[in-house]
Structures are given as C-alpha cells and as structure tokens.
Amino acid sequence: MQMNPKRTMLAVCLGATMAFTGLTGCQTHGDRTAGRYIDDRMVARRVNGALSHDPVYKYPDVNVVTYDGIVQLSGFVDTADQKNKASAIAQSTEGVRQVVNSLVLKPHMPQAGAAGVINNDNRVTPTGSPTGRRLDATTTPPPNWNNANTNNYSNPNVPANQR
C-alpha cells in the first residue's frame, strides 16, 4: 500500500483545523462563552421587546446591553415614573439576573410664550449690560474702590501728580 503525500498532507491540515477550531470555538467575547454571548443577546432582545410593547410608555431613546444576565438600561426618558417602569419591565423579563438603571431624565426646554419674548425690559445690549452703559476707565469707580492698587494713568478723576 502506497501513501499519497497529498492525501496525507490534506488529512493533517484538516485534523489541525478541526482541533484548532474546537479549542477556540467556545471562547468568543472576552470571558464569555459563545453560549453565554448568545443568551445575553436574547435577553437584550426580550427586554427591548418588552419595553416597546408596554401599553403606557414607549422607550425609543433607551439602549439595552446585557452581560452575564445583568441588564444595563441607558439613554433618556421623559419622567421619573417612566424610568422606574422601564426598570420594572426589565427585571420581570426572563433571563434577567439584575438591572442597572442608568436612565437619565430628558432636559425640558422652556415653553414658548411670555418667557421667550424679547422686549425692552429683558433685552441685553452689545455692551453686556442691560442699561447699555459701558464700564471702562472713564466710568466713575464705585465708592469702595481703592485707587492705590490700580493703574490710574487713564483715570481723569485722579490728579496728575498722583498718577
């Protein structure tokens, strides 16, 4: 019986490939096995589905990430009640061991109306002062101002021999 070198090499390569794939196929994402990774993805999908099917609230700005059965909720919600409800929905979902609720309340913009109207009472001029009065070296200093610690060269209120 004569051995074919091509077949022998093919058999060795296939055997090495199978052994290498078998040893590394169980480890996929860091310290999670492929099965745990798939389970975590399924849990995240279940939580997302439960959040989107809630009859009272919808959660379009909520992200769900799962690691080893621990679900993290992040993103924005409108009310504190909505935040608490999202946490309760996630906790009641199958496969969830713990919930980390990192949801944040959305900042509310002021309503349009009287507060948003600019008139002469609330207008700020380009000088940065509501009155439009510039504050510079020719302005009379406040009464508690100490002339000894400042540059008086441009202040006309200080006599020339004291400048």
**Nearest Cα residue to 61 out of 71, 52, 70, 50:** 52
Instruction: With beta carbons less than 8 A apart as the criterion, state whether 105 and 77 touch.
Output: yes
Domain locations in the chain as residue ranges: 27-105
Task: Tell me whether strands 70-77 and 98-105 are parallel, antiparallel or unpaired.
Answer: parallel
The pTM assigned to this predicted structure is 0.51
In the CATH hierarchy, which fold is given to the domain comprising 27-105? Histidine-containing Protein; Chain: A; (3.30.1340)
Q: What is the pLDDT of residue 93?
A: 95
Q: What is the pLDDT of residue 5?
A: 75
Instruction: With beta carbons less than 8 A apart as the criterion, state whether 12 and 20 touch.
Output: no
Q: What is the pLDDT of residue 11?
A: 74
Residue 27 tokens, joined: 């480890």
3-class secondary structure, 152:
coil
- Measured CA to CA in angstroms, residue 69 lies from 13, 59, 72, 87, 90 at distances of 39, 21, 10, 14, 11
> What are the average pLDDT values for consecutive 10-residue runs of the chain, which has 163 residues?
72 68 56 91 95 88 94 93 95 95 84 54 54 57 56 61 64
Residue 84 tokens, joined: 């608490």
